[in-house]
Structure 1
Amino acid sequence: MAAEHAAMADLKARGWQVLLHRARTRWGEIDLVALHGSCLVFVEVKARPSLLAAGEAIRPGQVSRIMNAARYLCAANPDWVYDSIRFDVCAVLPGNTIEWIPDAFRQF
């Protein structure tokens, strides 16, 4: 939870608009949903000892659940205005260092 709050503070400091925190759906939870310009960004937050460990923590099953939850949230929030969608990973490393993996995964 502390890692999610650190990620949220970082997003807000960058001027992003945080739309949802811990968005729960029947497919699972999305840690953060934010708007960056006209891009809707679904963020998975991982508190890990390294950026590599954070990236490796995202498994294919989790990617599927996140994408299904994102589809549901987009349908449930028709008032959201965006031109594109992206899936990022936010790694919260020791010392509360924040590293981003933008466009970490996608569905084709």
Structure 2
Amino acid sequence: MTAEQAAMADLRAKGWQVLLHRARTRWGEIDIVALRAGCLAFIEVKARPSLLAAGESIRPAQVTRIMNAAQALCAANPHWTYDSMRLDVCAVLPGNVIEWIPDAFRQY
């Protein structure tokens, strides 16, 4: 099972609807777009040996790319209905242990 497949299985088990997987835009790719209870999440999946390594692997330029891609996907999908949105990081650790960092880019 790939890291993205593990993340999607975990999302579905928690009641999320996966809208898109590997969504491509001119700004780049979003690994997963999911919706639950009015919250639209754009999720970057990182397979790393630790949660710290996953967090450190995301650079400011990548955050900007993800934000621009999320905005483009919202514009391209006006039928999506949501009350809030966030940008999450899903760290897939050895043994397919899943760790979520919800709203990971709030500081930007």
Question: Which residue matches 1:29?
Answer: 29
Structure 2 unaligned segments of length 5 or more: list them.
none
Post-superposition CA distance 1:52-105 (Å, at most 9, x none):
000111100000000000000000000000011100000000011000000100
Cα shift at 1:4: 0.3
CA RMSD of aligned residues (A): 1.2
Cα shift at 1:35: 0.3
Structure 1 unaligned segments of length 5 or more: list them.
none
Question: Which residue matches 1:85?
Answer: 85
* Identity among equivalent pairs (%): 81
Moved >4 Å (runs of 4+):
none
1:1-108 paired onto structure 2 within 5 Å = 2-106=2-106
For residue 56 of structure 1, what is the amino acid of its counterpart?
E
For residue 70 of structure 1, what is the amino acid of its counterpart?
A
**TM-score, length of structure 2 as denominator length:** 0.96
Cα shift at 1:107: 6.9
Q: Distance in 2 between matches of 1:39 and 1:16?
A: 9
Aligned residue-pair number: 108
